[in-house]
Structure 1
Amino acid sequence: MDNNGSCGSFRLLVSLPLLLLTAPVTAQNAGNTEIEQVVVTGTRVANRSALDTAVPIDVVSGEQLQNLGVSEVSQALSVTVPSFNFPRPGLNDGTDTVRPTTLRGLAPDQTLVLVNGKRRHQSALININNSIGRGSTAVDLNTIPNAIIQSVEVLRDGASAQYGSDAIAGVINLRLRTNSDGGDAGVTYGWRETRYDVLVAAAPDGANYSSPPKLSRDRSDGETLTVSAWKGLPLGSKGSVVVAAEYKDQEHTERGGYDMRQQYSLVNGAFDPREATFNRYNSWYGEPELDQKTVFVNAEYEVASGATMYGWASWQDREAVSAGFYRIASDPRNIPEIYPDGFLPLIAPDVVDVSAAFGVSWQLGPWAMDSSLTYGRNEMDYEVRHSLNRSLGLATKTTFDSGGFDYDQLTMNISGVRTVDVGLASPLNIAVGVEARQETFSIHAGEPDSYRNGGARLPNGNGTQPGAQVFPGFRPENEVDEDRTAVGAYVDLEANVTDKFLASVAVRGESYSDFGENLAGKLSLRYDFTDQFALRASVQNGFKAPSLQQQYFSTTSTNVISGVPFDIATFPVNNPAAIALGAKPLDAEESLNYSLGAVVRLGDLMVTVDAYRIDIEDRIVLSENLTSSDVVNYLNSLGFVGISGARFFINGVDTTTEGVDVVVSYPWSTQSAGRFDFTVTANFNSTDVTKVPTTPQLSALPTPPVLFNRFNVLSYEKGTPENKYAAAINWSLGGWGATLRATRYGEVLSPDANPALDFTLSPQTLVDVEARLAITDHIKLALGADNLTDEYPDPLPPINNPTGTQSYSNYSPFGRAGRFVYGRVNYTF
């Protein structure tokens, strides 16, 4: 990264696409041969199939997305893409609603998401709690309904030189339907039918209730109704418009453990009789409650000149409810006059997501041109329910508007593609383009009662934490309204040098108004030794720009650490207190990616094996909570009074990730038994943290605090499965069909700051099954079960779960929801 010296090279790269667009070179058109699974991601050559590319690409069809009980894009990818995981954390505030995903064990924001090849906007949420993806922002894949998706292409390779920031781990491209007729309407209803185990500690001496060391609980909950439809319509004689809508109503699930804490104060030295009747399964800790409405429209139209206009628009409103930790009746944070039995505070985010795009593709001499303008906005507002602000005493409300934040993105691009005969085995494919992007992030404060300190004292005379419990409101001093611009340009060349040797080169430069410039390059090669065997390889440098959320997110909340409340301020890096602690303007993360793979075709048997190594420098992380007396005294000495703890974002973590992806597929058609499609995938992945951040200011303190502790180091190194295997069989015969799928998640570490409390989650295998029957040409029925055998991660032992309520680790790669049984009916137009 160079903010000054690379200006000349960057300006040359920006001007190069415009020069190439007017270059008088004789072009030669490529053929239009029909090829199965033609892809547009990772290559800008027309009619390139997934198995003919120089980099690994998975194609997930719309039908595969449909044949699931849990109808989420993220869930579908987690069972079809070898290194994609969807951990589904709980008790993580807004992260319960906008849940992170990982590709190749990297952060959620290190995978770029496209819609029809155009950059999709991120969520406004930044993950700041202890889950996979801490400190990152990401695109919310579940804002796009399955009904509008024709297919999903997943490029498992770095691609910053082709697509820009964020494409370190890979690229996910969702291709939308363009049908001019037909359609489908479906209703899916299902629920969790499950039994789970929790481990409990011994009861307090003298309590009049029993407590075996292991308890099992039967649950029938999480009822989910999904109604979706899409319809293709003609738009004139040469166009189409597809309208899709989805409604989802999901009840929450309860997977909390058995709360072994003494709930009530002693009465005359004896246990309160209510201890014997109190419902100790008092925590939700599961899937959130959702009421979600989505509309998506995609259209294209060919005008008289031969140009094609296209565009799409979407809207989603997601009202969610999840829970925090239960506050027992005798908790000093409780007011018994309001909640005599304690209370479970609820956090209810309302997420509104909108997007719109308009573009034109046309022919300019030998150039296939494309220009588009896309806009996306995501906003999240928090309401806290069934809570209180203890500092307001009996005058407190129990429902609060805690404020929220929003993010939007406006992107303009223009590109051109042509082929040129330069004497190679195939024409040279030239793709050039320029892209400009503007981003905005803002935070708005909640109502005063959601954050203010009312001054009410505890019975012992001590003060108490201010703000609404579970999610204190954003304060006026947290409010920000920031924006930035980015301009980029790329050149992408691809050709068969010989009949057997394919080469691709891409170079991209980007200039950001806030942190400077970046130049990325990629070289991809493929050699087909025979029609049955090929090797492919790539090397590239990539980058991820710091998000506006990482640069400007600000909040103050009270964290209870070892029983002591601390007002922890999350400072933006430009805050004077953060600068005093050593914060600097955030720079881009930089990566070097290497991959080497093989493609084998033996008749209908297809096998791909791809090894990769990803070295990343200066990863952006959220520091630890800095609450030591040395830190507080240091801030006080500089005039920052009233701060009892602080944290901020910082560059400085270096990692090395290595792994192997394997994909095997085989279709088998029989005369009498129908068609079988077999797929086997595997991923082996490991990450090592090779550097952690420090600052001179903190290093000079008598006891220097750790900015990135072993908990977070191990989250990077061991927090995702070290291996993952999946096998699936799809069968069809006449109107009958079925899917059987098994996914084995390897060992995962649930880390702790104390090495003695590290907990290893053993491998688990989840089995999904679905049976389908076409009643008529238009009506299809399906019955199925996700996680048929009702598998759970290993329950946390009492030493890791001292309250008894958090029964499972958030590091489980498949969540902790249990068996989901469902039925579905579809009507095809």
Structure 2
Amino acid sequence: MSLRLSASPLGLAIAFVLLTPHAHAQDATNLDTVIVTGTRAVDRTVLESTSPVDVLTAEDIRKAGVVNGELGSALQALLPSFNFPRQSNSGGADHVRAAQLRGLSPDQVLVLVNGKRRHHSALVNTGSKIGRGTTPVDFNAIPVSAIKRIEVLRDGAGALYGSDAVAGVINVILDNTPEGGSVEVSYGANHTDLKPIGRTLTDGQTANISANVGTALSDDGGFLRVGVEYKERRGTNRAGFDQIPPWDQTEANLALQGKRNYVLGDGASKDINGWFNVELPFGQTGVAYAFATYNQRDTEGANYFRYPDGEANWTQLYPNGYRPISEGENSDVQLVAGARGQWGDWNYDASLDYGQNSFTYRLRNTLNASLGPTSPTRFRTGDYEYAQTVANLDVGRVFEQGPDTTHSLGLGAEFRHERYQTRAGDPSSYAAGPFTDRPTGSQAGGGLTPQDAADLSRDVASVYASLSSQFGEHFSTDLAARYEHHDDFGGELTGKLGLRYEFTPAFALRGALSNNYRAPSLAQIGYESTDTGYNAAGQLVQGRLLSVNNPIARGLGATDLKPEKSLNTSLGFTSRIGEHFDLSLDLFQIDIDDRIALSESITGDALTDFAQQQYGVAGLQSASFFVNAADTRTRGAELVTNWRQRLGDGQLLLTGTWSYAKTTLKNVLATPDALRALDPGYVLFGIEESNTLTDAAPRTRASLGATWGNDQWTLSSRVNRYGSATRVFNFGDGYIPRQTYQAEWQLDAEVEYRFSPRWSVAIGGQNLTDNYPDLSNDDIYYFGNLPYDVLSPVGSNGAYYYGRVRYTF
């Protein structure tokens, strides 16, 4: 019997009425919640903030992240401006997923843990669409069970927190409960009707177990809280029947026609997470603290199928062809230690923060065709490592100026050291063997060569000051300034001014103006790779991603990268009517100069001849490098509304959110003369990469929800609407297919029953109507193999059902 819920209007209405949707965030709907992000004031609430701040509770994050225990998936479900697409056949993005805030690049949002800067991933996403060319923060490396709440500042905040805070700041605050604990086990799977193949599938089986416990260490506030998590997920596959590309239609290859040779979906994964959070008082006012998170994740990714009769195969090894499988070994750690307290009227916080991500990339079920039929079939293709050390000192005090005016002053200094390294893969992964008519390097990702290896570092020092003021009951301000000096890009002064005026308890205006700064990442400066794989048109090419310092890149017109600089403006209002209803609406504009992106792939005989004749590099068929591609303007709006009402013996919470963000290009980088001289048709930054920055992500997002609960029951669901997204390919010779994938709806629901103070059980589902994005058209679906695109946030896994048991003590 099918487990799917009816997709009819009646089915949707019943689900909405009986299981009214899950709240945007329970704490975000409580506007009296005191926040610590975006202000120095010690008693500001969500309602009183000069910039929009969302507060997400541990309970909502835990429930929304039930699919694979992913924090990123939970944030997408709960935040109106957060996008976290599921990539497939996308290289490194199959292993580390990138997130967007307000439609900007993944590296333009700053992530904090307990207010301390979080490091980003070491792996460069070069095969993805969303997040292409970035090393994003790996949200899924942060344990869901460790979180007390998350505060999301949706505004530029470089003056407060330093570089990267262009789109906003996400501050993950860890659980500090000094006693008790919990154990939670969940299990679920996708169950879906896959129309392209006419079958009902059950896959994606996922098991999660987490446990955490706290204990008091002293009578005056000391505590230790620790936790562990284990997560295991099987893969999903939504590929269609292979029609065989025209250029591969030989007798041996046509024998595979009508089979599912490809994979489109989530790869299998295993995660082990650990964390602790500890505080111990000393002296009269001092507190020593430390916290850490650890993640070890093994993942698999999909790659294009290699047909038996083709230059990329030896039938002695794979008589029926093969599909390479990528493997990621991802190790991630953050450790912070410090002390805070008071010196007279001043408070202080000194800390040392170390974060590191190490990633080893492997391939199996593949070969290096140039080595012949004795080629290895497994390779280590490279090692990546990023490490960050931050030393920080904050001091501040609160002082009064008259009976109705209070100021909170903050001063500080910070030093940050970053190091980025890559190491070559196995020699056989990049070797050019004796079979010169065959492509070199391991298929689906040639290994990093010794000349690709990078070792870069930088030092960043900053001093800053902020002042949050309350003038009477109606007017408040936030003012901040920071001078930050990079030893490779020099100094930059950033500032922010935020204002709020409350006309009546039911209506207040707020606005902010700031300039922000993001230096090119070390990876964007120095990362290089050599690859043999399929281009967007599905044809096999040998290519390189070149650093801007590479002589070949310089010959093609590369120049030193410049930092990105932004000017953020926002204006909004908040309203609270009685104890039942509140609303906030914020309009924003973000102007960014010198956006960094990857160039278009430069291909063709002109490139091959140029690299051979000028630099002695043979066989180069494709090249790309980072550029300051364009200036951009992003305009948008965000609406959050909440209604609370006593209903029966429980409490009802209704929530509606809507967001809009549109990015347009200005001052697009012109193709340099050196590149046009090789071929007048070459374009350095063109259609595909413009699409990545402007309309590859949905511009609109809406959510309608509610939660009803009492001492025993919690009934919840959530209806999300994701706006349209557009995919553009440039296959050359004027062949530029385009498709706009229309808006999609997703319905989630859950019922939880507490049959004792300690035990609870829940059943629920996500995407209960088994909805899918539009099918890709004939130009894009790659001959039946990839019927769905990875752009749609609704994903292509179909319905997911789960059960959960929780024990608290």
TM-score band, normalised by shorter chain: over 0.9
> Structure 1 length as normaliser, TM-score?
0.90
The equivalent of 2:37 in structure 1 is 41
Query: Counterpart amino acid of 1:261?
Result: I
Q: Secondary structure at the match of 1:487?
A: strand
Q: Does 2:673 correspond to 1:659? A: no
Asked if the contact 2:445–2:533 (Cα under 8 Å) also holds between the matched residues in 1, the reply is no
CA shift for structure 1 position 76: 1.2
The equivalent of 1:293 in structure 2 is 272
Q: Give the 5 Å matches for 1:782-801.
A: 782-801=762-781
CA shift for structure 1 position 629: 3.8
Higher alpha-carbon deviation: 257-266 or 338-347:
257-266
Asked if the contact 1:623–1:649 (Cα under 8 Å) also holds between the matched residues in 2, the reply is yes
Partner Cα separation in structure 2 for residue 382 and residue 689 of structure 1: 35
Query: Counterpart amino acid of 1:254?
Result: N
The equivalent of 1:352 in structure 2 is 331
The equivalent of 1:420 in structure 2 is 399
Partner Cα separation in structure 2 for residue 325 and residue 553 of structure 1: 24
CA shift for structure 1 position 702: 5.1
Partner Cα separation in structure 1 for residue 782 and residue 83 of structure 2: 28
CA shift for structure 1 position 122: 0.5
Asked if the contact 2:184–2:805 (Cα under 8 Å) also holds between the matched residues in 1, the reply is yes
Q: Specify whether residues 531 and 453 from structure 1 end up closer, same or farther in structure 2 by C-alpha distance, changes over 3 A only.
A: same
Q: Specify whether residues 499 and 724 from structure 1 end up closer, same or farther in structure 2 by C-alpha distance, changes over 3 A only.
A: same
The equivalent of 2:465 in structure 1 is 491
**TM-align CA RMSD:** 2.0
- Residue by residue over 1:560-613, the C-alpha shift from the partner in whole angstroms, topping out at 9 and shown as x without a partner, is 456765432211122222222232222210001110001010112010000000
Where does the alignment leave 5 or more consecutive residues of structure 1 unmatched? 1-33, 199-214, 458-462
Q: Give the 5 Å matches for 1:771-810.
A: 771-810=751-790
The equivalent of 1:56 in structure 2 is 52
The equivalent of 2:654 in structure 1 is 678
Q: Secondary structure at the match of 2:75?
A: helix
Q: Specify whether residues 233 and 549 from structure 1 end up closer, same or farther in structure 2 by C-alpha distance, changes over 3 A only.
A: same
The equivalent of 1:24 in structure 2 is none
Equivalent in 242, 248, 251 of residue 259 of structure 1: 242
Q: Secondary structure at the match of 2:396?
A: strand
Asked if the contact 1:252–1:322 (Cα under 8 Å) also holds between the matched residues in 2, the reply is no
> Structure 2 length as normaliser, TM-score?
0.92
Asked if the contact 2:92–2:127 (Cα under 8 Å) also holds between the matched residues in 1, the reply is no
- Residue by residue over 1:472-506, the C-alpha shift from the partner in whole angstroms, topping out at 9 and shown as x without a partner, is 11111111211111001111111123431211111
Partner Cα separation in structure 2 for residue 797 and residue 678 of structure 1: 39
Q: Secondary structure at the match of 1:712?
A: helix
Q: Does 2:801 correspond to 1:821? A: yes
Q: Give the 5 Å matches for 1:325-404.
A: 325-404=304-383
Q: Secondary structure at the match of 1:161?
A: helix
Q: Does 2:227 correspond to 1:244? A: yes
Higher alpha-carbon deviation: 151-160 or 305-314:
305-314
The equivalent of 1:80 in structure 2 is 78
Asked if the contact 2:597–2:689 (Cα under 8 Å) also holds between the matched residues in 1, the reply is no
Equivalent in 206, 223, 232 of residue 205 of structure 2: 223
The equivalent of 1:478 in structure 2 is 452
Partner Cα separation in structure 2 for residue 236 and residue 286 of structure 1: 50
Asked if the contact 2:242–2:256 (Cα under 8 Å) also holds between the matched residues in 1, the reply is no
Partner Cα separation in structure 1 for residue 55 and residue 561 of structure 2: 35
The equivalent of 1:579 in structure 2 is 554
Q: Secondary structure at the match of 1:39?
A: coil
Query: Counterpart amino acid of 1:362?
Result: G
- Residue by residue over 1:430-481, the C-alpha shift from the partner in whole angstroms, topping out at 9 and shown as x without a partner, is 1111110000100011111111011225xxxxx1111111121111111121
Query: Counterpart amino acid of 1:139?
Result: V
CA shift for structure 1 position 810: 1.7
Query: Counterpart amino acid of 1:610?
Result: D
Where does the alignment leave 5 or more consecutive residues of structure 2 unmatched? 1-29
- Residue by residue over 1:390-426, the C-alpha shift from the partner in whole angstroms, topping out at 9 and shown as x without a partner, is 1111111111111221101000000011122234832
Asked if the contact 1:35–1:48 (Cα under 8 Å) also holds between the matched residues in 2, the reply is no
- Residue by residue over 1:280-334, the C-alpha shift from the partner in whole angstroms, topping out at 9 and shown as x without a partner, is 1222210110011010111111113320111112221100012101112223211
Equivalent in 281, 284, 289 of residue 310 of structure 1: 289
- TM superposition outliers: structure 1 runs of 4+ over 6 Å: 262-267, 276-279
CA shift for structure 1 position 276: 6.7
Equivalent in 654, 679, 693 of residue 716 of structure 1: 693
Identity of aligned residues (%): 35
Q: Does 2:688 correspond to 1:688? A: no
The equivalent of 2:421 in structure 1 is 442
Asked if the contact 2:600–2:688 (Cα under 8 Å) also holds between the matched residues in 1, the reply is no
Equivalent in 470, 485, 489 of residue 511 of structure 1: 485
Partner Cα separation in structure 1 for residue 609 and residue 268 of structure 2: 44
Q: Secondary structure at the match of 1:285?
A: coil
Higher alpha-carbon deviation: 562-571 or 358-367:
562-571
The equivalent of 1:622 in structure 2 is 598
Asked if the contact 1:381–1:405 (Cα under 8 Å) also holds between the matched residues in 2, the reply is yes
Higher alpha-carbon deviation: 136-145 or 704-713:
704-713
Query: Counterpart amino acid of 1:795?
Result: L
The equivalent of 2:567 in structure 1 is 592
The equivalent of 1:729 in structure 2 is 706
The equivalent of 2:674 in structure 1 is 697
Partner Cα separation in structure 1 for residue 257 and residue 747 of structure 2: 36
Partner Cα separation in structure 2 for residue 574 and residue 538 of structure 1: 39
Q: Secondary structure at the match of 2:451?
A: helix
CA shift for structure 1 position 35: 8.3
Partner Cα separation in structure 1 for residue 551 and residue 401 of structure 2: 58
- Residue by residue over 1:32-89, the C-alpha shift from the partner in whole angstroms, topping out at 9 and shown as x without a partner, is xx98321101111112111110000001100001123312111111121111111111
Query: Counterpart amino acid of 1:503?
Result: T
Partner Cα separation in structure 1 for residue 76 and residue 802 of structure 2: 19
CA shift for structure 1 position 278: 6.5
